[in-house]
Chains A and B, each alone.
Chain A
């Protein structure tokens, strides 16, 4: 392979010239294939599941969700490949623009947003509704990592920590006000992840952790007690009901109870088309937030464990890319993306299995939804880019 390094346009072609392969030309030669397989495997499983489980959901068009998810998957994969070929380091330079776009798009939802079930989260576009906060997860990581690198020498450690927190929590607060509790939590976690790999001292995390604990206590216990609830009633109930599902069996805990029943009923090998829990509306939002319960019921432990394994694979490769990154920006971005994916996966699956509260966090690459699917693929593409750049730098080559 070192022949490439010495090859120049002006030299006479060597007799044993190796032809540049298609993968090389597309910039895919140094993609992380396990990561790609994990991501494409998940979206394929998602489309497969939706195709089977939502046939009766939209009257007259049994493949409604399947077709749409397939289109999103294709768009997402194209986006991932494009992202793979871009040197992610460019985003560091664009951090201010990205950050501004992030905050603006999230804020504009309040003005032009499409209201669904009492919250404004997305723009209604001709073919689909675009939810800026989904893409925002990636944008926040890209921008914040840039700010961290950029401001690494300015101010004291405490000042830096406070600055990062403010930069991260501002969009998180906007999303929280939409209201979208789940996504705002993802923003907070993404911020903490970037800070974590940005070298914020352990002591600061201890303080932040303590502060978070106090905040949770304030929001969930103290504020309602003094009559100034910070959360809407349903949010409060959702967050606390998982602690005692039976008590809320017909209220907020109902969805969770049904989801747990569905998953459990799948047993070892699943119920296939007999999966009545998820086919008959017992489990709500079965094509989005509760798709894991659908998988659990239809395909059993084998299917659900397979899906979990793919997430584990993705996270492992993402973490590996963190260690391979050619620069600090790559470390922060890869770390941020990795933790964001891990957090979303754990919160969503945990919610489906009844061990985490109900927060509207989609399961990456499984839940139906264009914004989430495409944004996640773009994030995976950024990971690929970091991987590709790392390989190229080791070989002394730069991107095209």
Chain B
């Protein structure tokens, strides 16, 4: 039907062309098959990893930390939200030049210089390598919008909603509350922080640290499928776990009492500390240390602020003097000497000792403070006027035995109290064993001597203790021999206010105090505080609540006298111990006693009436 055409390939010529084309086709298909095999079978793993990396982005949803409340529900710490500009350094471009350019652009965004950006990164690497670096907090929404639109230009940069601790009462109870901070590399390896990740916030000090596991909460996780532009795809939420907010912590602290204590100390302008505690339960109503600090400074301290905080070892605002102080206490220690002497039969309550103003032991003379002579005094009177000679004598009588040390040890002097806050110093209770050991090692020039015990009997010499330990000792006197566990944690509540857990710290130890001896000591303290020529009668004489109190004036080498006051209230069935100390505050009645008065006024909501000052020196 067609005219056969000689130009058309026929027969073998057609076969050649078909064969050539067939060969080409075989080659092309071979290329495709080989490439497919190479991609999918030989290096499929790599591509699969790349694809997985491609498709999801994990957003950690930070759980708000629980609030910290005072015992009446007053908020001491809560959270405010803040937008933080964060950088994931792992996603910075490779190559120094590209990285530099990226950092410069970032710096512009965060209003930081290149040097500041680099320093922020370096500091973060030191704390927790791999965690996102927070370049700037409290950024504005305009920046958020800008970043969202230009996400691809800023790889690894995200604006994260973070919670920042907020302190409605400012620096109030700063030492008790403590602060939060980014978890450190060391902490990450510790068991309590097992589930945490670099960049997480944990309590670093105070109650924030001790009760971290309740306050912390559990972060939520949103794993979002993202498309090629890094935008979430509709319905592409793979996992969404809402964060569980931390539980609220209710403290035993009473904000009003705390405020009163801090005011009282701050008004002196001198370093000092105070503690007020329930003697039956160990609940701390107020505890503070002056100077204090603004906890928000610790969130992002500038170098200047760090310098300020650590400027002076003596002033050191971060030190909690109530628990970490190491002081001699002066005469408030005398209750320990009194109980030790009475219980060991060294003296009876009515046995008088002649106080001629000084006690001579060998070549040494121990004088009353101010050189006052009190004449013959028995226990109660000796406490009222704070006769040093009386207690020097008891110290001398007990110097060869370990009786004073045993009682001091029983009452908690020079040993940890079991406080539920991380900061606590053990202190030092001087004893024969201690000094003789030092002497043997050649660290001191003399072994234990009568003078050491005489000094200790009046709370002087090598004694190192702190207001909290003394509060435990006074509490034991007040409650008849029970050593309570001081604590600030009252209960854990959920966000709706339901109590999840009440803390019961119980008592640590118990020992017997003869009620008659306890009574005589309390009588002496009551007289000292509120009767006649008691050492603090000038301060507490007009206070309507009967109390038992003791002044103390501690001599510290190289310092002016340190003022102490310890009060058990109400007398005769005390419930609360309150102790204050003011470094270089002079006599006990001069600064510490007024501070305690101010605290008691807040506790009992009663003012003291003016009295004519007739209190004598110790």
Contact = CB atoms under 8 A, between A and B. Distances in A.
Interface of A: 56, 89, 149, 152-153, 196-199, 250, 254, 258, 260-268, 271, 276-277, 280-282, 284, 296-297, 300-301, 304-305, 308, 311-312, 315, 319, 322-323, 327-329, 331, 335, 338-339, 342, 346, 349-350, 353-355
Contacts of B234: 56
B40 A263 contact: yes
Nearest to A284: B228
Given A149-B2, A263-B39, A323-B14, A282 B9 contact: no
B45 interface: yes
Contacts of B52: 265, 276
Nearest to A320: B18
A329 B2 contact: yes
Contacts of A260: 39, 47
B37 A282 contact: no
A60 to B, nearest CB: 12
Contact of B227 (A153, A268, A281, A297): A281
Interface residues of B, number: 47
Nearest to B37: A301
Interface string B8-44: 1100011101100110010011011101110111011
Contact of A261 (B1, B41, B47): B47
B45 A267 contact: yes
B144 interface: no
Contacts of A338: 21
Contacts of A258: 54, 228
Contacts of A197: 9, 14, 17
A217 to B, nearest CB: 23
A199 B8 contact: yes
Interface of B is mostly: helix
A177 to B, nearest CB: 29
B236 A199 contact: no
Given A196-B17, A280-B233, A319-B22, 17 more contacts: A56-B235, A89-B1, A153-B7, A260-B47, A265-B48, A319-B21, A322-B14, A323-B15, A328-B2, A328-B5, A331-B9, A346-B28, A346-B31, A349-B32, A350-B32, A350-B35, A355-B31
A312 B29 contact: yes
Given A153-B5, A277-B54, A331-B14, A342 B25 contact: yes
B55 interface: yes
A268 B44 contact: yes
A358 to B, nearest CB: 15
Given A56-B235, A277-B54, A355 B35 contact: yes
A18 B347 CA distance: 140
19 contacts: A149-B5, A152-B8, A197-B17, A198-B7, A254-B228, A263-B40, A264-B39, A264-B51, A265-B52, A266-B40, A268-B40, A277-B51, A280-B226, A280-B228, A301-B37, A331-B8, A331-B14, A346-B31, A350-B35
A302 to B, nearest CB: 9
A353 B48 contact: no
Given A199-B9, A260-B39, A304-B36, A265 B236 contact: no
A98 B97 CA distance: 61
A264 B225 contact: no
B186 interface: no
Given A250-B152, A342-B28, A261 B8 contact: no
A11 B5 CA distance: 39
Given A327-B2, A328-B2, A263 B54 contact: no
A339 to B, nearest CB: 7
B50 interface: yes
B9 A296 contact: no
